[in-house]
Amino acid sequence: MLITKLGSVRRELLEVIAPLTDDALQHLPEAGGPSIAQILQHLAETERSVAQLILGAVKGASERAAEYDLAQMRAAIPTLALETEAWGVPVTPDTPALTKAGLIRALEESRFRYLQRVFNETHEATLLQKSTVHPVFGLISLKNLVDFVWLHEQYHVEQIRALQWTAA
């Protein structure tokens, strides 16, 4: 189920950015905020950071956390944007410009080098048994952290859909 959701949201993200040029990806919104390229880089960095957090937590001792309500988690993601510095993955105006091809490579690397390793090294049932502390959600199961990855990406797909009209 987790792998299916991750794949589905990633396909949606790639479809949304497919028609955009490198210039459109770099366009900074007049109202302020990050460019689509910065959002894509943020997604790759966040996914890598979460995967590393999960891999570290799998090896350690931890308690089982109650399952987090996914609707509540999804609703908290805009608030989490204010906490990105706590994660060490801010989206800033000085993020270096990357081409669409480079951004897609970064997303593929975060998925296949880091997050896929989570599934190669542990079973989904183990992810339910282990937990870690998240700066916003508190004690959270590792399975819910994987849920966070696809929910977070889904949130940013919606953000990109809104931005792509101003960037085109």
Residue 20: band (very low, low, confident or very high) from pLDDT cuts 50, 70, 90: very high
Distance from C-alpha of 53 to C-alpha of 135, rounded to nearest angstrom:
12
Q: Which CATH architecture has domain 2-7+35-87+97-167?
A: Up-down Bundle (1.20)
Provide the whole-model pTM.
0.87
Question: Of 38, 1, 2, which is closest to residue 149 (Cα–Cα)?
Answer: 2
Which pLDDT score, from 0 to 100, does residue 167 have? Answer: 57
E strand or H helix that includes residue 4: helix 2-17
- Which residues are paired to 133 by β-bridges? 139
Predicted confidence (pLDDT) at residue 165 exceeds the cutoff of 70: no
Residue 168: band (very low, low, confident or very high) from pLDDT cuts 50, 70, 90: low
Residue 83: band (very low, low, confident or very high) from pLDDT cuts 50, 70, 90: low
The token pair that represents 133 in the structure block: 């502390």
Predicted confidence (pLDDT) at residue 162 exceeds the cutoff of 50: yes
Residue whose pair of structure tokens reads 């995967």 in the numeric block:
51
Taking only the tens place, the pLDDT of each residue in 29-45 is 888 888 899 999 999 99
Q: Where are the domains of the chain?
A: 2-7+35-87+97-167
CB atoms within 10 A of CB 25: 23
